[in-house]
Amino acid sequence: MFRRLLVAAAWLAASAVAAPPLSTIQDVLYKADGSRFNGTLTITWKSFQPADSTAIVAQGSTVVNVLNGYLQVQLVPSTSATPVATYSVTYTSNGRAQFREVWVVPATTQVLKVHDVRISSASTGSGSSGSSSSDSGGTTTPIAESLVVGLVTDLAARPVKGQPFAAGNVAMVDSNNTLTTVSGNASDCVHVDGSSGACGSVSVSFMDADTLSGLVDGVNTSFGLSAVPNPSASLEVYRNGVLQKATQDFTLSGSTVQFTTASTPVPGDTLLASYRTSGGSSGTSPSVTSPQVLCSGSGATTSSTALATLGTCTIAAGVLLPGDRVQIQFDMAHHNSAGGFSLELHWGGTTVLHSDATSAETFVSGRADGAILASSAQTSSQTWGNVLSLGSTAGSASDSYSSGLSVTVLGLVAQATDSVTLNNYTVVRIP
């Protein structure tokens, strides 16, 4: 007899341990007219296996009474089942089925509301539909990302769109794990590191700092090159060190550069060009000897009290070389005067400039330099404003530039009623 009692006790203990965990759904249900729901909920399910490997046997059901709107029921979690399982819930009142919906129940020790488990619902009759205190009946509620097994993790692992990014172009994943667009010409081939260049064994030669021939008198608009650019899109024309825009400032025909009337060179102007030509034996990357405008334009506006990006310049891999200098200039405006504001300039992951301005400040300008060393950069910066006194810093940034680098202007305001705007920023490479 004693042995039998021990065996029975052990069997009961094992049964208790093997019972699956339960999640609690507790809520107050109302009808559309605002009165509390009275009736029953018939909850049915099909066979499934939850995460703890206990087996929920073939289709079953349970009936839950709801009195004066109060609902409480415990169910086995279904979101962790393989595959995800659902419960079918029918609301019955006044002797007829009023409402049906589908539940998915997550595993949690916290008390759930109906809207936490409902994924779809539909009215089945002309009576008033039951609804929880947080949801109204007859609606469809999207499934939360957190309820789909592995979705949040998978979304976090995928690369996101970066800058530059353009549809219809070859994409690459840069060093920041963002999708960017490969730059180059339509006839170029893309290398495994994301750079582009001529295809096959065709040799390429470069014309750097080619002086344009022609009379610079403020009237003449036609100037000649020493060779024909090939491809024509490789041509870069500089007027007094400023890169000119094709079609807007000039057009190319063979080896002739035709300036537009608005961009006619005047006495004293210096005209230089860099371009590729077919043939030759160089085959190396062109060395630009004149300043290059890498990025320029206006930025964004923010009313955030946390640092927000106002403008970013992404410098592609292979652009910067030891001995180069990068000059960064930006101008910002402060709107309203409820509080002060702050600004920062980041060189890659290094903060090379930080400045705090008072509520009385309206305009702030900043300048920074990056002297390119063998694998890092030495930096310096200045800021000033109408009220803000001149501030300057010097330091270093260990960020590698060989695989590309981003220069970012950020800002924040002390009061959300204020805003700061990046009016203009320019990033120039000086070889």
20-147: which CATH number, 3.30.70, 2.60.40, 2.102.10, 2.20.28? 2.60.40
Cα(419)–Cα(411) distance, rounded to whole angstroms?
A: 9
Write phi, then psi, for 248 (nearest 5 degrees). -85, -40
Question: Tokens standing for 222?
Answer: 């036609």
User: Residue 359: which residues within 8 A CB-CB, separation 6 or more?
Assistant: 337, 338, 339, 340, 414, 418
**pLDDT band for position 17 (cuts 50, 70, 90):** low
Per-residue confidence (pLDDT) for residue 230, from 0 to 100:
87
Question: DSSP 3-state assignment of 121?
Answer: strand
Whether the per-residue pLDDT at 402 is higher than 80: the answer is yes
Question: Tokens standing for 304?
Answer: 């955030």
The label of the residue with tokens 């009142």 reads 93
Residue type, 20: P
How large a percentage of the chain has pLDDT more than 90? 44
Q: Tell the CATH topology of 292-430.
A: Jelly Rolls (2.60.120)
Tell me what the mean pLDDT of segment 85-110 comes to: 89
Average pLDDT of the chain to the nearest whole number:
82
Per-residue confidence (pLDDT) for residue 53, from 0 to 100:
62
DSSP assignments along 135-180, one per residue: --SS---PPPGGGSTTHHHHHHHS-EE-SS--TTS-EEE-TTSEEE
Distances (CA, A) of 410 to 160, 207, 335, 342, 420: 20, 39, 16, 8, 10
Tell me what the mean pLDDT of segment 238-255 comes to: 92
Cα(164)–Cα(181) distance, rounded to whole angstroms?
A: 6
The label of the residue with tokens 């690369």 reads 159
Whether the per-residue pLDDT at 125 is higher than 60: the answer is no
Whether the per-residue pLDDT at 8 is higher than 90: the answer is no
415-425 per-position pLDDT tens digit: 999 999 999 99
Per-residue confidence (pLDDT) for residue 128, from 0 to 100:
42
188-199 per-position pLDDT tens digit: 777 766 677 767
How large a percentage of the chain has pLDDT more than 70? 81
315-361 per-position pLDDT tens digit: 877 778 899 999 999 999 999 999 999 999 999 999 999 999 999 99
- Please give the span between the terminal C-alpha atoms of the chain, in angstroms, as a whole number: 97
Per-residue confidence (pLDDT) for residue 147, from 0 to 100:
65
Nearest to 183 by CA among 174, 173, 196: 196
Kind of pairing, strands 236-239 and 271-278? antiparallel
| 317 vs 92, higher pLDDT | 92
The label of the residue with tokens 């939360």 reads 144
| 295 vs 285, higher pLDDT | 295
Tell me what the mean pLDDT of segment 117-134 comes to: 56
**pLDDT band for position 263 (cuts 50, 70, 90):** very high
Per-residue confidence (pLDDT) for residue 127, from 0 to 100:
42
Cα(383)–Cα(312) distance, rounded to whole angstroms?
A: 18
Cis bond upstream, residue 83 (ω within 30): yes
128-175 per-position pLDDT tens digit: 444 444 443 444 456 667 667 777 777 777 777 777 777 767 777 777
Domain segments of the chain: what residues? 20-147, 204-278, 292-430
Poorest-pLDDT segment among 117-126, 180-189, 397-406: 117-126
| 78 vs 122, higher pLDDT | 78
Question: DSSP 3-state assignment of 5?
Answer: helix
User: Residue 177: which residues within 8 A CB-CB, separation 6 or more?
Assistant: 159, 160
